[in-house]
Amino acid sequence: MSDALDVRREMGCTRAEFIGWLPGATRQAPLQIDGDQVTVTTHGGCVQIFLEEKPPRRLGLFALPVLGVTFSFRGLDKLTGDDFLAHFDLYTRRGGG
């Protein structure tokens, strides 16, 4: 993941749910939360996570929350960044199986 790589996604969760998942999703790595920016210190580098609440997706009367999430990897090699994302995705996956 070299010196800086951004990965963008949309997640079906609220900001509060996302923040609640962070300790487990980051393997208890040190976190700093400043508004809509989270900095995770890991393996000699960091992952900056930027959050953006978006309008919910609607299907009739049913509404799903949408959170824009950007992961910015700093000072991590590709293997470490890939491992971080793989664990994060597995931890935050809901209802799959």
Is 62 within the bounds of a domain? yes
CATH label of the domain that carries residue 58: 3.30.1370.80
Token readout for 11 is 């997640």
Q: Provide the pLDDT for residue 49.
A: 98
**Consecutive H or E run containing 69:** strand 62-74
Instruction: Identify the CA nearest to 85 among candidates 32, 13, 8.
Output: 8
Asked if the model's pLDDT at residue 97 lies above 50, the reply is no
Query: Whole domain around residue 87: which residue ranges?
Result: 4-92
Token readout for 66 is 């949408």
Token readout for 26 is 């980051």
Q: Which of 3-12, 48-57, 78-87, 88-97 has the lowest mean pLDDT?
A: 88-97
Is 97 within the bounds of a domain? no
Is 88 within the bounds of a domain? yes
Count: domains in the chain: 1
| pLDDT tens digits along 27-71 | 999 999 999 999 999 988 999 999 999 999 999 999 999 999 999
